[in-house]
A = this chain, B = another copy of it.
Amino acid sequence: MENEIIVYSISDSLGETSQKLLTAVSAQYPDLNFNKSYRFPLVNREEELLEILGDALKDKAIVISTLVNRQLAKTARNFSKQTGLLYLDLMHPFFEMIQERTGSEPIEEPGTVHKLDTEYFNRIAAIEFAVKYDDGKNPQGFVDSDLVLLGVSRTSKTPLSMYLANKGYKVSNLPLIPEVPLPQILENVDPQKLVGLVCQPDSLSRIRSNRLDSLGLSHSTSYTDLEKIYNELEYSQQVFKRFGVYTIDVTDKSIEETAYLIEEHFKNRIME
């Protein structure tokens, strides 16, 4: 059994879909080394493609392709048939199913997914919004937000805001600190837009300790003290109750998982 595998990703655009698939697949093989895998973006000439396929054959690589160009995809398919190259086309089997169902043909324009259209600029604006209104820096942003995340320190408000912003949501967040009064403007925010983040106290203490380590600070602080954390969380629950805030326990959840729960919650609410 070999403990190394090489994957070539070929795309006539940037190859992000292949990278995403490769990440998901490689997570299923903790003992296998994928480090020599290589990404070939912006491939648009047949000779260039054949050269890459030839190298893949020499490297005994698996080739995954998101080429949208029919001719290039056909070239790669034929090459693989003739040589026994392990080749996986992610796009054209999907295209064929769409044709079977609807009769529609793809436009075969590489990079269409990066079109600088309204949706793209809205997403960029959302990212800038989230940075501007992170950490309660400017509570004025709460009223214009699609979502306002509330929670005590280290409940993943910032990374969660950025992740949701990247999906186009205008997100702001506010740290809840018992000693600091809530900004008045919170009263004017539609409570339906509020999301409360909670975490198990021991997990939060551990995360805060790691945070102090990474900042090179000592632990003799109330920041990681369990009793202090209980009080903070108790206070945050009072705030959530007072405003009727939808809350999520982020303990042991990745940002992606928490973001998914938030999206589902708001989708269901809209459909009610």
Contacts and interface: CB of A to CB of B under 8 A. Distances in A.
Interface of A: 1-5, 13-14, 16-17, 20-21, 23-25, 27-32, 41, 60, 62, 64, 66, 68, 86, 88, 90-91, 93-95, 97-98, 100-104, 106-109, 111-116, 120-121, 124-125, 127-128, 131, 134-135, 156, 158-159, 162-163, 165-166, 210, 214, 252, 254-257, 260
A109 B29 CA distance: 10
Contacts of A112: 27-28, 30
A137 B31 CA distance: 42
Contacts of A120: 254
B91 A24 contact: yes
Nearest to A63: B97
9 A-B pairs with the lowest CB-CB distances in the bound complex, closest first: A28-B106, A114-B254, A27-B112, A1-B103, A2-B102, A27-B113, A86-B97, A20-B20, A127-B159
A64 B131 contact: no
Contact of A16 (B20, B86, B90): B20
23 contacts: A1-B103, A2-B103, A13-B24, A16-B20, A17-B21, A25-B94, A25-B106, A28-B68, A28-B106, A30-B107, A31-B104, A32-B104, A41-B260, A62-B101, A86-B97, A86-B100, A88-B93, A88-B97, A115-B254, A116-B254, A124-B156, A127-B162, A166-B166
A16 B256 contact: yes
Contacts of A21: 17, 20-21, 90, 94
Nearest to A214: B125
Contacts of A214: 125
Contacts of A128: 158-159
A162 B126 CA distance: 12
A28 B108 contact: yes
A23 B90 CA distance: 13
A108 B115 CA distance: 36
A94 B31 contact: no
Contacts of A256: 14, 16, 114
A175 B90 CA distance: 41
Contacts of A2: 101-104
